[in-house]
Amino acid sequence: MKLSNKFCIFLLTFLSLATSAQVKIGNNPNSINENSILEIETTSKGFLGPRVALNDLGLASPLTGTVPAGMLVFSSGGSVADGFYYWNGSKWIKISSSNDLKNTVIKTANANLLKTDAIVLASNDITLTLPEITAADNGLEINIKNNGNHKDLVTVIGFSGALIDGINSAILYRWAGKTFVAFEGNWVIKEKINRACNLMDVSETSSWTTLKEAIEFLEEHMMGATTIRLADSEFLLSETQVIDLPYPLTLQGLSYGHTSISASGGLENLPMFRCVSECYFKMLMFDGTTLTSYGTNPGEDAIRFVGQDTYHEIKDCTFDGFYNAILDSTNAELWLFECDISNCTGSGVLLHGNVPGVKLRVSETDFISCTKGINMEKGSNAVVQLTSGAYLNNNAGAYGVLYVPATFSFETMIITNNSWNNTGYFISGFDFTRSDGRDADAFIIANAGMESKNPHSKINVLNNASTTTVTTTGTWYKANWTNSNQYTCKFGVSNNKLTYLTSNSMDVVMNITGNVICTNTNKVFSVAVVKNGNPALRYGEITVKITSASYPYQWATNVYIPDAVAGDYYEVWITSTTDNDIYILQDVQWFTNTQ
**pLDDT tens across 528-560, in order?**
999 999 999 999 999 999 999 999 999 999 999
- Alpha-carbon distance of 29 to 277, in angstroms, equals 86
> pLDDT tens across 306-315, in order?
999 999 999 9
| pLDDT reported for residue 162 | 96
Classify domain 456-594 at the CATH topology level. Answer: Jelly Rolls (2.60.120)
- Alpha-carbon distance of 361 to 110, in angstroms, equals 49
Q: Where in the chain is the domain with CATH 2.60.120.40?
A: 456-594
Q: Where in the chain is the domain with CATH 2.60.120.1230?
A: 104-190
- Alpha-carbon distance of 352 to 441, in angstroms, equals 21
Q: How many CB atoms lie within 10 A of CB 268?
A: 14
Average pLDDT on 96-100 reads: 64
- Coil/strand/helix, residue 214: helix
> pLDDT tens across 156-166, in order?
999 999 999 99
> At residue 506, does pLDDT exceed 60?
yes
> At residue 366, does pLDDT exceed 50?
yes
| pLDDT reported for residue 99 | 58
Is the domain defined by 199-445 classed in CATH 2.102.10.10?
no
Cβ within 8 Å of residue 520, ≥6 positions away: 549, 578, 581, 582
What percentage of the chain exceeds 90 in pLDDT?
A: 86
| pLDDT reported for residue 30 | 80
- Coil/strand/helix, residue 213: helix
Give the bridge partners for 119, in sequence order: 104, 143
> At residue 266, does pLDDT exceed 60?
yes
**Rg of the chain over CA atoms, in angstroms?**
46
The model's confidence at residue 301, banded by pLDDT at 50, 70 and 90, is very high
| pLDDT reported for residue 39 | 79
Output DSSP code: residue 8: H
Residue (of 399, 419, 284, 417) closest to 348 by Cα position: 399
> At residue 86, does pLDDT exceed 80?
yes
Class of domain 104-190: mainly beta
Q: Where in the chain is the domain with CATH 2.160.20.10?
A: 199-445
Q: What is the DSSP string of 122-185?
A: E-SSEEEEPPP--GGGTT-EEEEEE-S-TT--EEEE-GGG--BTTBSEEEE-TT-EEEEEEETT
Give the bridge partners for 404, in sequence order: none
- Alpha-carbon distance of 392 to 387, in angstroms, equals 15
Q: Taking the mean position of all CA atoms in its chain, how far away is CA 96?
A: 53
Average pLDDT on 103-118 reads: 96
The model's confidence at residue 419, banded by pLDDT at 50, 70 and 90, is very high
- Alpha-carbon distance of 293 to 54, in angstroms, equals 73
Average pLDDT on 274-297 reads: 98
